[in-house]
Chain A
Amino acid sequence: MKIIKYIISDIIRNKIMLAYTVLLLAISLSVFNLEDNKAKGLLSLMSVILIVVPLVSIIFATIYIYNSAEFIELLVSQPLKRTRLLLSVYSGLAISLLLAFLIGSGIPVLIYSPSIVGGVLIAVGMGLTLVFASLAILASVLAREKAKGMGIAILLWFYFSLIYDGIVLFILFQFSDYPLEKASIVFSSLNPIDLGRVVILLKMDVSAMMGYTGAVFKEFFGGNWGSIYSGGIILAWIVAPLYLSVRRFNRKDL
Chain B
Amino acid sequence: MERFVQVILCLCLPWMASGKTWHVRQAGTGHPIQHALDLAAPGDTILVDKGIYTEKGLVIRKPVCLRGIDWPILDGEKQYEILAVSANDVVVEGFHFQYSGVSGWHDIAGVKIYNAHHVTIRSNILDHTFFGIYCLGSSNCTLSGNTIHSDADNDIQSGNGIHCWKCDSMRILDNEITRHRDGIYFEFVTHSLIRGNRSFSNARYGLHFMFSHNNVYERNLFRHNEAGVSVMFSHGVTMLGNTFTENWGGSAYGILMKEITDSKVIGNHFLNNTSGIYMEGTTRILVTENTFSGNGWAMKIQASCSDDVITRNNFNGNTFDIATNGSLVLNTFNANYWDKYEGYDLGRDGIGDVPYHPVSLYSMIAEKNPTVMMLYHSFMVGLLDKSEKVIPSITPEALRDDKPFMKPLRLP
Bound-complex Cα distance A166 to B378 (A): 10
Chain A interface residue count, CB cutoff 8 Å, equals: 38
A208 touches B373 (CB 8 A): yes
The reply on B370 being an interface residue by CB < 8 A is yes
A194 touches B382 (CB 8 A): no
B377 touches A43 (CB 8 A): yes
List B contacts of A43 (CB < 8 A): 377
List B contacts of A71 (CB < 8 A): none
A207 touches B374 (CB 8 A): no
List B contacts of A95 (CB < 8 A): none
The reply on A187 being an interface residue by CB < 8 A is yes
Task: Tell me the number of A-to-B contacts counted with CB atoms below 8 Å.
Answer: 95
B374 touches A194 (CB 8 A): yes
A213 touches B370 (CB 8 A): yes
Bound-complex Cα distance A165 to B368 (A): 18
Q: Could you say which interface size class chain B belongs to? A: 20 to 34
Given A207-B295, A207-B296, are A201 and B377 neighbors across the interface (CB < 8 Å)? Answer: yes
A211 touches B370 (CB 8 A): yes
| Chain A nearest CB, measured from B265 CB (Å) | 20
**Which of B273, B295, B319, B382 is most buried by chain A, counting CB atoms within 10 A of its CB?**
B319
A184 touches B371 (CB 8 A): yes
Bound-complex Cα distance A235 to B272 (A): 35
List B contacts of A206 (CB < 8 A): 296, 319, 376
List B contacts of A168 (CB < 8 A): 374-375
| Chain B nearest CB, measured from A208 CB (Å) | 3
Q: Which residue of B lies closest to A39 (CB)?
A: B317
Bound-complex Cα distance A184 to B274 (A): 20
| Chain B nearest CB, measured from A216 CB (Å) | 9
List A contacts of B381 (CB < 8 A): 165
The reply on B222 being an interface residue by CB < 8 A is no
Question: In chain B between 249 and 284, which residues have their CB closer than 8 angstroms to a CB of chain A?
Answer: 249-250, 272-274
Q: Mark B62-78, 1 if CB is under 8 A from A, else 0.
A: 00000000000000000
B373 touches A211 (CB 8 A): yes
Residue of B319, B369, B382 near A207 (CB, 8 A) is: B319
A208 touches B366 (CB 8 A): yes
Given A206-B319, A208-B319, A211-B250, are A169 and B380 neighbors across the interface (CB < 8 Å)? Answer: yes
The reply on B80 being an interface residue by CB < 8 A is no
Interface of A with B (CB < 8 Å)?
Answer: 37, 39-40, 43, 46-47, 50-51, 161-162, 165-166, 168-169, 172-173, 176, 180-181, 184, 187-188, 193-194, 197-198, 201, 206-215, 217
* Other A-B pairs beyond A47-B379, A172-B369, A214-B373, 5, CB < 8 Å: A161-B380, A184-B371, A188-B374, A211-B274, A212-B249
- The contact sample of 19 A-B pairs, CB cut-off 8 A, is A40-B317, A43-B377, A47-B377, A50-B379, A172-B369, A172-B374, A176-B368, A184-B374, A187-B374, A188-B374, A207-B296, A208-B297, A208-B320, A208-B376, A209-B296, A210-B274, A211-B249, A211-B250, A217-B374
Nearest first, the 8 closest Cβ-Cβ pairs linking A and B are A208-B296, A207-B296, A208-B319, A212-B250, A165-B380, A211-B250, A184-B374, A180-B371
